[in-house]
Amino acid sequence: MSKVMSEHASEQDTVLCPLTRYGVLSVNGDDARSFLQGQLTCNLNGLKPGDVCFSAHCEPTGKTLSVFWLYCYADNEFWLVMNHSAMAASLAQFQKYGVFNKVSFEDKTADICLVGAATEHDNFAAPQESELLAQIKVGSEPHQFVLVYRTEITCNSDEKLWDALEIERVRPQVVGELAQQFVPQMLNVQAWDGIDFKKGCYIGQETVARMRYLGKQKRALFRVSGSAQNPVKAGSQVERKVSDNWRRGGTIIMAVNRTDTQVDGLAVLPIDIEVGTPLRLQGDDDSLLEIHTLPYQLG
* Amino acid letter, 192: W
Q: What is the pLDDT of residue 223?
A: 98
Q: What is the pLDDT of residues 190-225, one digit of tens each?
A: 999 999 999 999 999 999 999 999 888 999 999 999
Q: Note the pLDDT of residue 121.
A: 86
Angle at Cα 224 formed by Cα 178 and Cα 173, nearest 5°?
35
Q: Indicate the SS3 state at residue 91.
A: helix
- Is there a shared CATH topology between the 1-215 domain and the 218-292 domain? no
* Cβ proximity of 287 and 224 under 8 Å: no
As a whole number of angstroms, the distance between CA 214 and CA 41 comes to: 18
269 Cβ contact partners less than 8 Å away, ≥ 6 residues apart: 219, 220, 221, 222, 238, 240, 249, 250, 279, 291
Q: Enumerate the domain spans of the chain.
A: 1-215, 218-292
Number of H helices, E strands in the chain: 5, 15
Residues 6+ apart with CB under 8 A from 73: 26, 49, 79, 134
C-beta separation of 70 from 48 below 8 A:
no
Quick one: pLDDT at residue 216? 80
Letter for the amino acid at 32? A
CATH class assigned to 1-215? alpha beta
Alpha-carbon dihedral sign for residues 239, 290, 221, 27: negative
Three-class SS of residue 102? coil
Is the CATH code 1.10.40.60 the one for domain 218-292?
no
Residue 51, C-beta contacts closer than 8 angstroms, at least 6 positions apart: 71, 72
251 closest CA partner among 265, 266, 237, 230: 237
| Cα gap 88→68, rounded to integer Å | 13
| pLDDT by 10s per residue, the chain, length 299 | 577 766 655 546 799 999 999 999 999 999 999 999 999 999 999 999 999 999 999 999 999 999 999 999 999 999 999 999 999 999 999 999 999 999 999 999 999 999 999 999 888 999 999 999 999 999 999 999 999 999 999 999 999 999 999 999 999 999 999 999 999 999 999 999 999 999 999 999 999 999 999 888 999 999 999 999 988 999 999 999 998 899 999 999 999 998 888 999 999 999 999 999 999 999 999 999 999 999 999 97
Q: Quick one: pLDDT at residue 129?
A: 95
Residue 287, phi then psi, degrees to nearest 5: -75, 155
Contact 115, 153 (CB under 8 A): yes
Query: Within a 10 A sphere around the Cβ of 61, how many other Cβ atoms?
Result: 11
Distance CA 162, CA 69 (A): 15
